[in-house]
Amino acid sequence: MPVLLMVVCGILLAVGVAVALRWSGERFVAPQRPAAVARGPDAASDPTRWMPRHLAGLRIYAWWATVFTAIGTLSGFLVVGAGGRLVMRLLAATSPDATGRSTEAQAIVGEISPEGTLAYLVFGALPFAFASAALYLLVEPWLPRGRLGGASFGLVLLVCVGPFIDPLRAANVDFDVVGPGWLAVLAFAALAVLHGAFLAAVAGRLSHGLPLVSRERWAGPITPLLAAVVLFPVGFVLAIGALVAFIAPRLLPWFLDLRASRPGVLIGRVLLGLAVLAALPAFVSAVFSIVQR
């Protein structure tokens, strides 16, 4: 069973790498607002032109919620979940003296079980993947264009989140148990870059093929939302967002336009730069601490 789990994780990660490479050039394209579509040349044939303003706002929200759910779920399984499990196994394999010792999460080094893998996936990988998916969709206009966008987002996450939460938190006693430290830093850094690239690639690809919900096309566009039904916390948050989008249909389009406007992009890039500068000393300190163990 342990070997089978690692083989499965390896296959999943390989799929994630292939997807990130294959779709790395896909540029994220937000859908037109329903009102803009209704004013276009195809307005007469638009089957959803009858929709009132509130349902139109719900349509645009459903599109963004679907993209968020899809990229969060896929990255959680293929990159953060499978990749994180493989990094843990790599560090355990390079630390034979640590076999049998307990980690910070009360796991046993060298012990690979379906229960432990499931616990890591549910309580570690998926929450992080969904949080980073939401953040990516927020800051996407502020990132560099092209293939550097996703990779740079992964590095920003690593610098701004890594030393405070995980995976490069200096206070994590696991780095006293497994190592070497330099290998841990390199492995987690590579995983962070891959995670960012994967989010950008899948979001870009999905944005080109995902239509807005309509009377004639509704099953396909919202099918990924079924994952949010299984993952109750995510589903609850999305349900609250749907209620807000229905009550205030102009709020989400206004916010999306604002963040993608020229002043919004300028301010956003300044904020990202300040966040990186503020977190950089803690990041450098954490890296030095981990490498020296």
pLDDT at 167 over 90: yes
Q: ω before 34 within 30° of 0 (cis)?
A: no
pLDDT at 49 over 70: no
Mean pLDDT to the nearest integer, 29-54: 56
pLDDT at 179 over 70: yes
pLDDT at 40 over 60: no
Tokens of 231: 């993952």
What mean pLDDT, rounded, does the chain reach?
A: 87
C-alpha distances (whole Å) from 187 to each of 105, 146, 201, 274 are: 20, 24, 21, 26
Can you give the three-state secondary structure of the chain, one letter per residue?
A: CHHHHHHHHHHHHHHHHHHHHHCCCCCCCCCCCHHHHHCCCCHHHCCCCCCCHHHHHHHHHHHHHHHHHHHHHHHHHHHHHHHHHHHHHHHHHCCHHHCCCECCCCCECCCCCHHHHHHHHHHHHHHHHHHHHHHHHHHHHHCCCCCHHHHHHHHHHHHHHCCCCCCCCCCCCHHHHCCCHHHHHHHHHHHHHHHHHHHHHHHHHHHHHCCCCCCCCCHHHHHHHHHHHHCHHHHHHHHHHHHHHHHCCCHHHHHHHHHHCHHHHHHHHHHHHHHHHHHHHHHHHHHHHHHCC
pLDDT digits (tens, 9 = 90+) for 138-160: 999 999 988 899 999 999 999 99
- Higher model confidence: residue 152 or residue 108? 152
pLDDT at 207 over 90: yes
The pLDDT assigned to 125 comes to 93
The pLDDT assigned to 34 comes to 63
pLDDT at 25 over 90: no
pLDDT at 183 over 90: yes
pLDDT at 105 over 80: no
- Higher model confidence: residue 187 or residue 254? 187
- Higher model confidence: residue 92 or residue 38? 92
The pLDDT assigned to 156 comes to 97
Mean pLDDT to the nearest integer, 39-50: 44
Find the distance separating the first CA and the last CA of the chain, reported in whole Å: 32
The pLDDT assigned to 45 comes to 45
What is the pTM assigned to this prediction? 0.89
Report which of 186, 197, 213 is spatially closest to residue 46, judged by C-alpha positions.
Answer: 213
CA distance 277 to 272: 9
The pLDDT assigned to 111 comes to 77
pLDDT at 116 over 90: no
Confidence of residue 70 (pLDDT cuts 50, 70, 90): very high
Confidence of residue 216 (pLDDT cuts 50, 70, 90): low
Confidence of residue 277 (pLDDT cuts 50, 70, 90): very high
Residue 30 near residue 185, CB atoms below 8 Å: no
pLDDT at 51 over 70: no
Mean pLDDT to the nearest integer, 263-291: 97
Lowest mean pLDDT among 119-133, 192-206, 229-243: 229-243
